[in-house]
Structure 1
Amino acid sequence: MASVECMNAVSAMDEPEYAEGNLPREAEIVLHSLALNWADVVDAKQLEITPLKGAMTNEVYQCNWKTRKGEKPRKALVRIYGEGVDLFFNRENEIRTFECMSRLGQGPRLLGRFPEGRIEEFLNARTLSAPDLRCPEISAQIAAKLREFHQLDVPGPRKPKLWTRLRDWVKTALAVCPKIEAAEFQLDCMEEEVDNLEKLLSREDETIGFCHNDLQYGNIMLHEEDKSLTIIDYEYSSYNPVAYDIANHFCEMAANYHTDTPHILDYSKYPDFEERQRFVKEYLKSSGEMESDRVGQLLEDVEKYALASHLLWGLWGVISDHVNNIEFDYIDYARQRFQQYQLSKSLLLNV
């Protein structure tokens, strides 16, 4: 791969031509330089650009160049960062995590960067769909892959990020939304809610691992040839209780972001006890921790940490509504997450 410095040094007088799509000029320059380093590309100036659907924060594009002798086209993925993402995470930290994942063989390679985004290796794989998460074979693969992910040795403080992030997002939500909205979602007492939840859920003996924190189906790729899985997109990744990461994955089973109403959640699709137990057993099997008490404790912790997931992504919805222009009903999404939090809280904590 060409260095980022080399990619950014392409002369403006030799600008590429594109069949379709509108990318930032800086991205076009990096793409052109990247293609010049591939000897099998017919013409570095000509490529096809196709927008990929389903992204909720970023804009994502597939880029194809024709190759000689009728071989498969060269491909790259362009990711343009969404508006307001700096309110949710530090982009430089996310890039470092991305590069670390690449070194550890866990994700696509970073091919280049430009001010508004980056260019990644294009994986010959398909994104999972919402129904895929309910397939027992695929679910077992996800459980094993998530266990592997949690055991990665990633630099950084090995203490939960969850509670700090929740408190930060409460402050941000209060800062960006009008008073009537803050009153509807009871944001003024949300920090106290977080404090109480942390006291109820945290335990000294809970397992902390490097967590993805956003394991929806769109962030899991199934490779076409060997049917292996790759977890992608690490914007929210950090050390956290592993029970929280599993809980967050279960909550995502209520969503289908590829419908006419992508914000609508169907909690009848939340995994039942047998599905949750099967997932946890597969998760623990890879490390030989199959004792019944270990399975039972993790299942209990996961259900309680689903509360934290509802709070976090409810806040995300409130904030996103004021900083993101993507067509998605963030406020109604937030409303559903907060409603599910209240319902689950009364059932799980008897309060």
Structure 2
Amino acid sequence: MLFPHLAHLSIAKLQRVSGALTNAVFFVTLTNNQRYVLRVYGSGCDQLLDRDNELLWLARLTPLKIGAKLLGTFDNGRFEEYLPSTTLTHACLRDPTTSVQIATLLAQLHSIVQVHPPTQSSPLHTNPALEIWPQIRKWYSLLQNNSSSSPSSLSSGKAVAGITWDEIEAYQRFLDRVQSPIVFAHNDLQYGNILRMKSTGDLVAVDFEYAGYNPRGYDLANHMIEWQYNYHGEHPALASPQHAPRRHQQISFVKAYLANHHLKSTTTVDQLLYEIDCWSVVCHLCWGLWGLIQLHQSEIDFDYAAYSAQRLTMFQQALQRIRNKSNITTPSK
């Protein structure tokens, strides 16, 4: 029994939280009015996530008072602390004050790398500490029905959604030349994973399933892309380009981030925006592959087919834009 001291109580209310795309999330209220968060892992999540890595980070974050405290785990889920708060909405992202708060929150999360640094500090895509490239390699391999995860065997296999492994590796090599410090990244900071505390108004990030070491450009790009998604709207699986942050909104966000970042570097606003633009390509690829896997295994009511198709189209469009801007050689197919 996870909580023997609560054995004399029963569940008074079980409320499912909408908008979760990997797990089923519930608020559990007991008869003494205590509340907890229950996460039930989605079908096939072990192919998408490294639960051991997630629990390791939750153990590291709890002493730092980051996010919700982990209370207990079971075979296919866990209980977390309930934080008296309200979840941000899609509209909140466009609020100038809230956007600055989110930029500050990301800067604070990224600074955790100073407390828990990776074992290797090389920014190259071969760095085993990074989450993104091994993750993409694993998902690409799964979609090829290929049990091997070595790049050499992947390059000789069939393309996934018209994307070859050679194309991905060519872009990896290009990104090796784009300076982007390795940070502790949330990697999924959409509005549903940000809470506003009722007592203080402070913002708190939750749901660190995909968290780990990544280039800061990736994490910042991922959040900016999330401006286009309203998971509680009429078409939750589709991006709305008209909601993408405008130039002045990007500048305001980046300025707030740089003002609070632990690295007091000479990085300019334009340099960081270029860094973000370059890494946005990888965000589209990552979540496009994720959507294809979820399409075949998830039981959550979400149009993964439409989501993945659009994300992979956005990947190709963003890739072509960066190629044109940066003179990247296109691999022959």
**CA 271–156 in structure 1, closer or farther in 2 if over 3 Å, else same:** same
**CA 164–46 in structure 1, closer or farther in 2 if over 3 Å, else same:** closer
Identify the match of residue 338 of structure 1 among 312, 315, 322: 312
- Asked if 1:100 is matched to 2:60, the reply is yes
2:107 corresponds to which residue?
147
1:348 corresponds to which residue?
322
- Asked if 1:253 is matched to 2:218, the reply is no
Q: Using structure 1 for the length normalisation, give the TM-score.
A: 0.81
Which runs of structure 2 are paired with 1:172-191 in the superposition (5 Å)? 172-175=142-145, 185-187=161-163, 189=164, 191=165
- Asked if 1:302 is matched to 2:297, the reply is no
Identify the match of residue 54 of structure 1 among 19, 27, 30: 19
**By how many angstroms is 1:183 displaced?**
6.5
**By how many angstroms is 1:205 displaced?**
4.2
**By how many angstroms is 1:49 displaced?**
1.2
Kindly provide the amino acid, as one letter, of the partner of residue 16 in structure 2.
Answer: P
1:18 corresponds to which residue?
none
SS for the counterpart of 2:26 is strand
Which runs of structure 2 are paired with 1:151-170 in the superposition (5 Å)? 151-152=111-112, 153-154=115-116, 156-158=118-120, 159-170=129-140
Could you tell me whether the CA contact under 8 Å between 1:163 and 1:194 is conserved in 2? no
1:276 corresponds to which residue?
250
SS for the counterpart of 1:151 is helix
**CA 321–209 in structure 1, closer or farther in 2 if over 3 Å, else same:** same
Would you say how many aligned residue pairs link Structure 1 and Structure 2? 304
- Asked if 1:112 is matched to 2:72, the reply is yes
Q: What is the alpha-carbon distance in structure 2 between the residues aligned to residue 185 and residue 34 of structure 1?
A: 52
**By how many angstroms is 1:320 displaced?**
0.7
SS for the counterpart of 1:62 is strand
Q: What is the alpha-carbon distance in structure 1 between the residues aligned to residue 214 and residue 259 of structure 2?
A: 21
Kindly provide the amino acid, as one letter, of the partner of residue 283 in structure 1.
Answer: Y
**CA 34–298 in structure 1, closer or farther in 2 if over 3 Å, else same:** farther
Which runs of structure 2 are paired with 1:322-337 in the superposition (5 Å)? 322-337=296-311
Kindly provide the amino acid, as one letter, of the partner of residue 117 in structure 1.
Answer: G
Could you tell me whether the CA contact under 8 Å between 1:157 and 1:239 is conserved in 2? no
1:232 corresponds to which residue?
206
Q: What is the alpha-carbon distance in structure 2 between the residues aligned to residue 256 and residue 47 of structure 1?
A: 31
Could you tell me whether the CA contact under 8 Å between 1:102 and 1:108 is conserved in 2? yes
Q: Using structure 2 for the length normalisation, give the TM-score.
A: 0.85
Could you tell me whether the CA contact under 8 Å between 1:110 and 1:119 is conserved in 2? yes
**CA 121–324 in structure 1, closer or farther in 2 if over 3 Å, else same:** same
Which runs of structure 2 are paired with 1:305-324 in the superposition (5 Å)? 305-324=279-298
**By how many angstroms is 1:288 displaced?**
8.1
Structure 1 regions of 5+ residues with no counterpart? 1-7, 9-29, 37-42, 68-72, 177-181
SS for the counterpart of 2:268 is helix
**CA 287–321 in structure 1, closer or farther in 2 if over 3 Å, else same:** closer
**By how many angstroms is 1:90 displaced?**
1.3
**By how many angstroms is 1:172 displaced?**
1.2
Structure 2 regions of 5+ residues with no counterpart? 121-128, 147-157, 329-333
Q: What is the alpha-carbon distance in structure 1 between the residues aligned to residue 323 and residue 198 of structure 2?
A: 43
**CA 287–304 in structure 1, closer or farther in 2 if over 3 Å, else same:** closer
Give RMSD over aligned pairs. 2.1
**By how many angstroms is 1:47 displaced?**
2.4
Identity of aligned residues (%): 33
1:200 corresponds to which residue?
174
Could you tell me whether the CA contact under 8 Å between 2:140 and 2:160 is conserved in 1? no
Higher relative contact order (CA closer than 8 Å, sequence separation 6+): 2
**By how many angstroms is 1:103 displaced?**
1.5
Q: What is the alpha-carbon distance in structure 1 between the residues aligned to residue 262 and residue 73 of structure 2?
A: 41
2:42 corresponds to which residue?
82
Kindly provide the amino acid, as one letter, of the partner of residue 232 in structure 2.
Answer: H
Could you tell me whether the CA contact under 8 Å between 1:167 and 1:194 is conserved in 2? no
